[in-house]
Structures are given as structure tokens and as C-alpha cells.
Amino acid sequence: MAKGKAVVVGGLGMIGRNIIQALEAEGGWEIVGLSRRPANFETGATFISVDLLDNAQAQEKLAGLTDVTHIFYAGLSGGVEAENVEGNLALVVNSVGVIEPISPTLERVILVQGGKYYGVHLGPHKTPSKETDPRHLPPNFYYNQQDFITALHEGKSWHYTMLRPEAVVGFAEGIPLNTASLVAVYASICKELDVPLNYPGPEAAFTAFNKFIDARLLGRCAAWAAQNPACAGEAFNVTNVSGMRWCNLWPLFTEYFGCRLGVLVPMKLADFMADKGPVWDEIARKHQLKPMDFSDLGDWGFADWNFGRTWDTILEDTKRLQYGFTEAIDTEQNFIEIFDEMRAARVIPAG
């Protein structure tokens, strides 16, 4: 029996790709991915190439989506900054806002948000963060997106659910906002240059407590939330449940990539990686890796923020566990499995 027709906005991104794969693993879904580029992974989903910042183009390209039952929103416009309201709101308006009026079969919209909802980007904040916590002083594009969906839903029969993950650990080619790729590329370059794998942040960041999220687990959670009637109108934090500190992961990374264990050397990777493209090209040549632009392998400004965050970030998962999505994964296992996947795809050296 068919489960429905799902549209995944941002289908090539880290989150969108894993939502598509979770739906395909379940079976019974007709899946349409929205992205600017064609699919770059094996999938049975149909992709529509569309620039969702262009309303006229969106109206034209999405006009045939008149029988959609579920929309999974996992898009991102430009950078991850919470202040980037205009572009990120436009993506929702020109996807959900275009499909909803022409698709009377719509049942559920899943809006993927993130830890910035709680102000994790601003500095020390209330931990553990819970779904009932109040908003911080805007701007924050998550608030604008949610308010748009809430207003669109008024008086309608369909429902919406918000998912709030933290930093995502997963694999998707060409996605530079990728924690696993940042670690893997940095470590591979250190090994190539025969320098220790130093932690590039302050001691407080090295020992801070965080809870990350496996992209595969997040994809399955989105599929679950879309089909669970009790999730209508609810928000759920989603992490691995397992917590982590970089100080505990660093020896693991050192061993996996065959590096020498370093020390704390606070530095800006955005500066130190600026001239490392040729080094990566040599690594790719020696190990017969897939040809990729160095800029697609990691956003080093994002890395500096990840490795420089000196405060705890703890999203409380209790609510989604109580509602029935009980999956968890050890964060060390999460990183190793993603590194293995990247090696198998010949994106990073095999050893």
C-alpha cells in the first residue's frame, strides 16, 4: 500500500539526502527531491531542478505537484547564520508556500530546524535545551520559517512538525557544512604533511559537552514524525542521545587517520586551509580519490565555529523518546561509520 507522495526540499543536502534514503528504505513512497543540481547519489527519487529563491521559477517548476501528501523541508540559503532571514524564508515560501495551495492531499509538513532555535550560536545558553524554552531576541530565520508555516496552516486539515537537531555528522558529496568531512580532511592533510593532529581551538572548547546527530538517524526520525499522528503540531529535539567532548574523540581520530596525536593549538582553520588545495590535490592523486573541488570538502569558517565553541550545547531528547522514536547511537560509532562510508566512496584516503 502506498504511503504517500513526499517532496524533500533540499534533497541534495546532508539532511535531505538522508531523508530520501530513509523513505526509500521503508518503501511505498513516491519521492520528489527539490534542488538546484541533479542528484549526485544513487536514488530512485525524481528530482526537479529549481532555484527556490526565484518565486516565478518555483511557480512554474512545481506546478505539477498537485498530489503531494508530505513535505520535508531541509533547505538552506547561503550561510548558516541565524541572521540570514530573507533567503531562508524565501526558500520556505517558494516551496511549501507554492505546493500547499495546489495540493489538497497534503497531510504533513516536516520543518527541520536546529540548535540555533535555542541560541546555541550566541554563546552560553540554557542547558539542557527543551522544546518549551522561549525564543531568544531575533533575528533568527528558524522563527520566521516556523511563523510562516503556522500562519499557512491556520484553518487547514494538514499538520506540521518541527525537528531540532544539533550539529549533523553524516556524508553527502559536495556539502561543505559537514562535521565529519571537516575532521577527515584536516586529519588527512596533517598526515600528508607529517605534522601532529593538533586541536585547533581553546581548551574550554576541547572539553565542552555537546550532543551531535547522525544524519541517518535524523532521516529516519523525519520519516517517523511524518507518519505519527501524535507528532502533529509538536517540536522534537533530535540528537544521538550519546554525548561527546572533543577531548575524548581526538585520540580516536588520530588513530583512525594514522596521525600523530597533537596538543591544543588554537588557530583559525579558515586561514590555515586557505592554501591547502594543492596538498589535497596531491592526496587525491596518490590515493585515486574522486576529483572534487577543495572548497566542496569543508567550510573552514564553520569548522572554526565548531572547534571554537567553548560552552556546552545539550539538546534534551526526552520528548521524542517518550513519543516513540527511541533510536540512539554512540557518537564515536557515528563518526567511525561515516568515515568508513567516505572511504568506501573514495572521498578520503583509505589509510
- What is the helix (H) or strand (E) element at residue 87, kind and residue range? helix 85-93
What pLDDT is attached to residue 1?
52
- What is the helix (H) or strand (E) element at residue 159, kind and residue range? strand 159-165
The fold adopted by the segment(s) 4-167+214-238 is Rossmann fold (3.40.50)
What pLDDT is attached to residue 174?
84
According to DSSP, the residues that pair with 129 across neighbouring strands are: 315
The pLDDT tens digits along the chain (351 residues) read: 579 999 999 999 999 999 999 999 999 999 999 999 888 889 999 999 999 999 999 999 999 999 999 999 999 987 778 999 999 999 999 999 999 999 999 999 999 999 999 999 999 999 999 999 999 999 999 999 999 999 999 999 999 999 999 999 999 988 888 999 999 999 999 999 999 999 999 999 999 999 999 999 999 999 999 999 999 999 999 999 999 999 999 999 999 999 999 999 999 999 999 999 999 999 999 999 999 999 999 999 999 999 999 999 999 999 999 999 999 999 999 999 999 999 999 999 997
Give residue for cell 505539477.
Answer: 64
Q: Could you count the other beta carbons within 10 Å of the beta carbon of residue 174?
A: 16
| Interatomic CA distance for residues 164 and 237, integer angstroms | 5
What pLDDT is attached to residue 13?
94
In the chain, which residues fall in CATH 3.40.50.720? 4-167+214-238
Output the DSSP codes for 297-344: S--HHHHHHHHH--S-B-B--HHHHHHT----B-HHHHHHHHHHHHHH
User: Which residue, among 298, 341, 182, has the nearest Cα to 249 in the 3D structure?
Assistant: 182
Cell of 213: 546527530
What pLDDT is attached to residue 78?
72
Burial group, residue 278, by CB count within 10 angstroms (0-12, 13-18, 19+): exposed
Cell of 164: 531540532
